[in-house]
Structure 1
Amino acid sequence: MKLTLDLQYFQQEKTERATPKKRQETREKGQVAKSTDVNTALILLAVFLFMFIYARVLGTHLYDTMQTVFTEYMLWEITEETIPAIFHELALETALVIAPVMLVALVFGAGASMLQVGFLFSPEAIKFKPSKINPLSGIKRIFSVRALVEFLKSMLKITLVGTLAFTIIWLNLDSLMFLNQKSVADGFGEISRLTGLIGVCVALLLLFLSIPDYLYQRHDHEKQIKMSKQDVKDENKKMEGDPQIKSKRRKQQMDMATQRMMQEVPQADVVITNPTHFAVALSYEEDKMAAPKVTAKGADFVAYRIRTIGRRNDVILVENKHLARSLYDQANIGDEVPEELFKAVAEVLAYVYRLKNELV
């Protein structure tokens, strides 16, 4: 009893790598190995690099907008018509400035996801599931090993990013202390340069940290989709089909093949018999065939049917135990007669043709 229980436990233990079918099913559910840190790092890096190119355009646009606000909008009367007009124009100007940055973030975010998992559209991943709002499931996730790993990762990133940002600011502290002595344009340029430098360095740091995170996510995903030996057996059984259905299908195929074979017997030149256990039907057309061909063969009941159909259609039956058994063993239906049996078959066919001539 104990041995049976141990065997059942061993079969249910998830020790086997996921099969291709299992991987495809989990992928369709949206369960893939993906690190959000890779997306975050690539988006930050792309945005801040783009900002180095876009900074002059952004600064000029902001300067023009502020100039318009203080030289025009400040002189407008506050009415029900002017306030919506001001907000509408400011919103439009802001959108025009932010749109290129958001587009870069969108492109690189999608590219980072495709880099990790390829193109994936999974409606099932966004379906509502009651288990997602189950308090017990939520508590289990909060106090799981995965949650602990994510917490330690977050603390490590906060510490390293904070240290890196502080170091960059400390190294540029002299320049920051003299900002009050610079013009607005120069001060804005200095702040922009420093912000961009911190952003790029932080992005590179996060990109470096995302590599082990991605490897961990892949390891964790492989662990989650592992299968038990019983799962693998059940999947193979399901893919191969029910044994009874397979047996029935095989029987139908054999019956159809036998029926087609029996349709060839009336056109045969001779049926060589054992005389009861084996029967082989041969056909030969001198101008079309290089050698006689086996058109039908069978043992026991199938041999009986071949002999019966042959007699009904006036096909000559020749008893030759050794030749019938050799043809049955060495040649399949549609094959030419084996070379070592040419002489024996030729003698039989010669006898058949001579007999047919005598009957005519």
Structure 2
Amino acid sequence: MSDSEDKESKTEAPSDKKVRDAIEKGNIPFSREAPMFASILSILIVLTFVTRSNTKVLTEKLSLFVDRPQDFRLDSGADAAILFQALALELGQFLTPIIAILAGCSLAASIFQNMPSFVSERIRPQWNRISPMGGWKRIFGRAGLVEFAKSLFKFGTITIVSLLLLKSEQTKVFNAMFSDPTLIPEIMLTMAMRLVSAIAIATIVLVAADLVWARLKWRNDLKMTPQEVKEEYKQMEGDPMVKARMRSLAQDRARKRMLAAVPKATFVIANPTHYAIALRYERSEASAPVVVAKGKDLIALKIRETAEKHGIPVIEDKPLARSMYDHVEVDRMIPPDFYKAVAQILFYILTRSK
């Protein structure tokens, strides 16, 4: 069966078990655009709150190397090592908050979509991942076309936003050539902040659409064929034939236990051939008669046969036998509605035995 035919046959929504199994194997919906948007947002945060102040501090400290080089000794390798350590410390203080913000935003984007978890299945080597044919299908399949369209949208958006921003800032750029050179970094920082802000706003629509697309595609890929639904139901509920056989065996065991209790009955109420209810009444055991067995058709005949074999009275009362069969349970006392009728039968049996 071809891939297209197989996909067409998957018409059933994925079951809860199919979804759980997919998540346990690391197959989760994931949008690649969300981390990209988080990166853009983190760059904007860095430019707005970190770069201006930290760059000023770093520039002031590094300017000492240019303005006062005589303060730094380089007579030996140890002096050079100390100098490099100082430089590394200053650069580390400058880069640490930037790296922390970039990493934090990327991690937040991943957690927003799905909680991180370690799945060995995702890192297990699989030949289909390096298959040229599989790679060709991924590139030129529907998913590949969607990724290509998203890339075109991002490229077009960034290009248009950059051109519009440069056009609007053209005058400032030309004027900066004739202004104080120390103002150029501030102008460049402002332009970078505006550019990144515009790109972030423009890509919000793409990110929202990609989040929805990722989940819809994930659910669609997990769809099942009617045969898969049946097989999963069999696995969860058991084979219907096996379950029917088990029910039959359980009923047989229950019937055997019930018929074994008939010799303990005090009397049996019967419809001549269709229904039979065996009752036991001992004041020391219960306040009302207890049903030890009941049955209809062949089971009723077996109850009567066993009762007659052990000398237990069999009272024929068609309406009472039919009514009691529908309302009494084995090993339980009879309902109060039947007290009067059963009491009359008990009185009849006791007076006849005397």
Question: TM-score if structure 2 supplies the norm length?
Answer: 0.80
User: Counterparts of 1:140-159 in structure 2 under 5 Å?
Assistant: 140-159=137-156
Pairing partner for 2:203 from 191, 203, 206: 206
Aligned: 1:77 with 2:74: yes
State the 1:205 CA deviation.
1.4
Match of 1:45 among 38, 41, 48: 41
Distance 1:253 1:80 in 2: 90
Give the partner amino acid of 1:13: S
Root-mean-square deviation over aligned CA pairs: 3.7
1:194 to 174, 191, 195: 191
Distance 1:10 1:63 in 2: 63
Mapped partners of 1:182, 1:246: distance in 2: 89
Equivalences, count = 349
Deviates more, 1:311-320 or 1:144-153: 311-320
Change (3 A) 1:303 1:183: same
Partner of 2:22: 26
Q: Helix, strand or coil: the match of 1:279?
A: strand
Cα offset for 1:132?
0.6
Counterpart AA for 1:281:
A
Percent of aligned pairs with the same residue?
28
Question: Do residues 130 (structure 1) and 127 (structure 2) align?
Answer: yes
Task: Tell me, in whole angstroms, the C-alpha distance in 1 between the residues paired with 2:81 and 2:245.
Answer: 78
| 8 Å CA contact retained: 1:275, 1:321 | yes
SS of the residue aligned with 1:227?
A: coil
Could you tell me whether the CA contact under 8 Å between 2:55 and 2:94 is conserved in 1?
no
Q: Is the 8 A contact 1:161 1:202 kept in 2?
A: yes
Q: Which residue of 2 aligns with 1:182?
A: 180
Q: What SS does the corresponding residue of 1:166 show, helix, strand or coil?
A: helix
Alignment partner of 1:15: what SS? coil
Corresponding residue for residue 173 of structure 1: 170
Counterparts of 2:61 and 2:253, CA distance in 1: 84
Cα deviation 1:133-177 (Å, max 9, x = unaligned): 112211222222321221122112111112112222322233333
Which gives a bigger RCO, structure 1 or 2 (Cα 8 Å, sep 6+)?
A: 1
Q: Which amino acid aligns with 1:182?
A: D
Hey, what's the Cα distance between the residues in 1 that align with 2:103 and 2:222?
30
Offset of 1:124 from its aligned partner? 1.6
Paired amino acid for 1:171: S
Query: Which range is displaced more, 337-346 or 282-291?
Result: 282-291
What is aligned with 1:54? 50
Give, in whole Å, the separation in 2 of the partners of 1:106 and 1:262.
Answer: 75
What SS does the corresponding residue of 2:293 show, helix, strand or coil? Answer: strand
What TM-score do the two structures reach when normalised by structure 1?
A: 0.79
> What amino acid maps onto 1:331 in structure 2?
V
Q: Hey, what does 1:251 align to over in structure 2?
A: 248
Q: Which amino acid aligns with 2:171?
A: D
Code of the residue aligned with 1:350 in structure 2: it is F
> Is contact 1:37–1:207 with CA below 8 Å preserved after alignment?
no
Alpha-carbon spacing, 1:10–1:60, altered in 2? closer, same or farther (3 Å): closer
Gapped runs of 5+ residues in structure 1? none
Counterparts of residues 1-360 of structure 1 (less than 5 Å): 13-70=9-66, 71=68, 75-77=72-74, 79-118=76-115, 121-180=118-177, 181-182=179-180, 184=182, 186-258=183-255, 261=258, 265=262, 268-274=265-271, 277-283=274-280, 292-299=289-296, 302-303=299-300, 306=303, 316-333=313-330, 337=334, 341-354=338-351, 358=354
CA distance in 2, matches of 1:164, 1:300: 87
Q: In the aligned structure 2, how far is the partner of 1:64 from the partner of 1:266? A: 107
State the alpha-carbon separation in 1 of the partners of residues 15 and 232 from structure 2.
9
Deviation per CA, 1:34-63, whole angstroms, max 9, x where unpaired? 221122113322441354122343223422
Partner-residue secondary structure (3-state), 1:281: strand
Compared CA separation, residues 251 and 150, structure 1 to 2 (3 A): same
Superposition deviation, residue 340 in structure 1: 5.8
Aligned equivalents of 1:315, 1:90: Cα separation in 2? 107
Q: Cα deviation per residue 1:257-300 (whole Å; 9 max; x = unaligned)?
A: 44664676566543324456543233557799786553432245
How far apart are the structure 2 equivalents of 1:257 and 1:193?
Answer: 86
Amino acid across the alignment from 1:14:
K
Distance in 2 between the 1:353 and 1:30 partners?
A: 76
- Separation (CA, whole Å) in 1 of partners of 2:202 and 2:34: 11
Partners of 1:92 and 1:254 lie apart in 2 by: 82
Closer, same or farther in 2 for the Cα pair 1:68/1:10, shift >3 Å? closer
Deviations 1:74-107 (A, max 9, x none): 9442754445544444344333333323333333
Distance change >3 Å, CA 73–CA 111, structure 1 → 2:
farther
Q: Which amino acid aligns with 1:332?
A: E
The 3 A distance-change label for structure 1 pair 265 and 79 is farther
CA distance in 2, matches of 1:325, 1:11: 57
Structure 2: gaps (5+ residues): none
Supply the distance in 2 between the matched residues of 1:68 and 1:312 (Cα, whole angstroms). 118
Cα gap change, 1:83 to 1:248, in 2 (>3 Å): farther
